[in-house]
A and B are shown apart, each in its own frame.
Chain A
Amino acid sequence: MDTSVDMIPENKLKAQKVNVFYAEKQALYDVTLGIDEKSVTSFIGPSGCGKSTFLRCFNRMNDVIPSCRVQGQILLDDVDLNSPKIDPVLLRARIGMVFQKPNPFPKTVYENVAYGPRIHGLAANRQEMDYIVEDSLKKAGLWKEVSDRLNDQATGLSGGQQQRLCIARAIAIGPDVLLMDEPCSALDPIATSIIEELISDLQSRFTILIVTHSMQQAARVSQKTAYFHLGQLIEYGDTKEIFTRPQNEQTEAYISGKIG
């Protein structure tokens, strides 16, 4: 895998004819789309439409669910992620994930951020680790709030802070891609707006995929939007286009609040 940065935004990630099954039930049907590098792409759609399942295909988190089967190709820089040659551990070090509910480890703030770099052996000594922790927390916009509380329990932080800590933890291992599964659904409006600002900041460094229930959020943070319905990708395009001139009736019905 070539990690050199290509300055021309082109398809960093590609999904080709992705089908996902939970035992006998099919959750995704032939989803094909390409995702631009260093941009924010949002997946919207009603509950149960398969958008979270699709997101989890990108770092193979569906592997954890025994009944789940994924067919089709997911390409990162034109390498198939589902090929048996790809080690999920290596993959997840390149594609970080932030979950719906803030899930810090019940350890200190410092330990939460340091865990990823430690298991991957990214810091040679304590100074390097300190630097990684500080830098990640700064990038996640949390440093000012926690710099004097690094040794406090992470579970004592507020919900919004916990979620930003989870973002810091994900970026501490230096991934190319960040997957965010409804990162603000458990947060209040103020914490949500802080995270949204953060996402816009992070966009210059990471390719971000975000699943969201809030159409306003999709409109605010993303450049491209994909609308899913009942496991099908209905419409995919520039966020502006989708929200102002949707091509598909179903998309229009959803974003105008008629269904969903």
Chain B
Amino acid sequence: MCRANWGSDMNNRSDNTLSSMGVTNLYSATTDTRMAHIEAGLKKRRAASRRLRLYGVAAILTAIGFLCILLTTIISNGYTALQQTEIAVAIEVPANEILDDNGLIDKEKSRNYNWGGLVKRSFRKEFPEVTGMLDQRSLGELLSANAGYDLRIQIEKTGSVESGTNIYWVKASDDVDMLMKGRMDRTIDEKMRRIKDNQLVWFDKIVADGSIRLAFNSTFFTAADSREPESAGVLGAIVGSAMALIVTVMLALPLAVMAAVYLEYFAPPGRLTDFIEVNVNNLAAVPSIVFGLLGLAVFLGFFGMPRSAPLVGGMVLALMTLPTIIIATRASIRAVPTSIRDAALGLGASPMQTALDHVLPLAAPGILTGTIIGIAQALGETAPLIMIGMVAFIVDVPASFTDPATALPVQIFIWSDSAERAFYERSSLAIMALLLFLISMNLTAVLLRRKFEKKW
């Protein structure tokens, strides 16, 4: 009924000019004709929206696929670095050389004792058939160059020792480690191999004796960088990164929030304000290495600040993060309803009181998100840190903001560039550490955000 009436109404609107122009005049056609036309088009429209949905699903699947490939590669390359090959060596403890009168280990004596020689001698004893100088040296190369140091630390930890022969597990060299983990092909030509044929024989004998094992690689999480992969760790880089980020947040967050509040609430509209706005937005897109150059020229060159220090690294990263936080803060300030601002101003609050008491607390979740995005960017940044010398080879965990240090991404960069294959798996493990660092930071941000978020 209704449809018929509607149709007849429409039919009255016949348009002679359109018909006379030879245009298919659906506008003045009967309802049925018009509906049939719309229905015919509907199929196409439905197909188009289905297609669009498929594209979307395909895009997401591709993204997930790439992410999976990335993660699998990193994990499959890196997980083996969680373990380190160790060799059991029977060692006659030089008790009278290192103990003091009370039967405790004298640190001074212990430090001066030739532990490296002791390990090598003890190890050679297990292979009496190896006699020549060269052969003995190759035999010694199966053990880590730092095996003596590791043994000293192991023994010092116990506090006191009794003389006699004990079995100690010392680190194997990185080549033995690779061989043990199946990352070295023993079938290729000897010249191309880092472990020679005679070393292979000794290695097989050790394996047959059962005096080799894969143990948890705690060194990786407790040491800083080293020339020997088996003694290298990420702690130094993590501490360096954390210090730099602390400096970054402490500098960038207050500066950016104040700048954003000023630009939103106090800046008189005009050319200067426009100019500053455009520049802040452009600054966010400046390549990070430019900030590194700036840091090198200004902080190191002009102010003479210490090279390779997390303090300077943090300052450079703060410059880089500043525009990101300013933009995020301005956006979240603008998202606070103007009615709240009016309410405060209407009560006679000064603009600053309005901003600090009402607008900023409500904008806090957004500011926090922006800060975390900025900090996450800063955490992954390598180029500006290289410019200010944080790429140096540093074997100590930094103890203060002015100590030379390196950062996680820079450490990954250094290791991935090293010749030793064992550094390759370690750089993958360091990437995992970096990702974990990032995830834990984001998690903190989400939790803080939840806490601050107010319901209307």
Contact = CB atoms under 8 A, between A and B. Distances in A.
B350 A99 contact: no
Contact of A169 (B345, B347, B454, B456): B347
B345 A96 contact: no
Interface in B425-456: 454-456
A66 B269 CA distance: 8
B164 interface: no
Which applies to chain B's interface (DSSP): helix, strand, loop or mixed? helix
Contacts of A66: 269
A106 B362 contact: yes
A115 B348 CA distance: 10
Nearest to A166: B343
B342 A64 contact: yes
Interface residues of B, number: 21
B156 to A, nearest CB: 59
A173 B348 contact: yes
Contacts of A116: 347-348
A99 B342 contact: yes
A61 interface: yes
B421 interface: no
Contacts of A96: 346-347
A12 interface: no
B181 to A, nearest CB: 58
A115 B343 CA distance: 11
Given A106-B362, A119-B353, A59 B346 contact: yes
Interface stretch (A77-85, A87-95, A218-226): A87-95
Contacts of B350: 89, 119
B394 to A, nearest CB: 49
A92 B339 contact: no
**Which of B337, B346, B349, B358 has most A Cβ within 10 Å?**
B346
A104 B347 CA distance: 12
Nearest to A118: B357
B199 to A, nearest CB: 72
A160 to B, nearest CB: 17
A119 B339 contact: no
Contacts of A173: 347-348
Given A106-B362, A119-B353, A155 B456 contact: yes
B340 interface: yes
A61 B347 contact: no
A158 to B, nearest CB: 14
B195 to A, nearest CB: 68
A106 B456 contact: yes
A240 interface: no
A120 B344 CA distance: 12
A17 interface: no
A105 B347 CA distance: 12
A170 B344 CA distance: 10
A183 to B, nearest CB: 13
Contacts of B339: 99, 101, 103
A242 interface: no
Interface in B348-365: 348-350, 353, 357-358, 362
B357 A64 contact: no
B382 to A, nearest CB: 42
Interface string A103-136: 1111000000001100110000000000000000
A116 to B, nearest CB: 4
A92 B346 contact: yes
Given A155-B455, A155-B456, A119 B347 contact: yes
B348 A61 contact: no
Contacts of B348: 89-93, 116, 119-120, 173
Query: 9 nearest interchain CB pairs?
Result: A103-B339, A92-B348, A97-B346, A93-B348, A116-B347, A103-B343, A106-B454, A89-B348, A66-B269
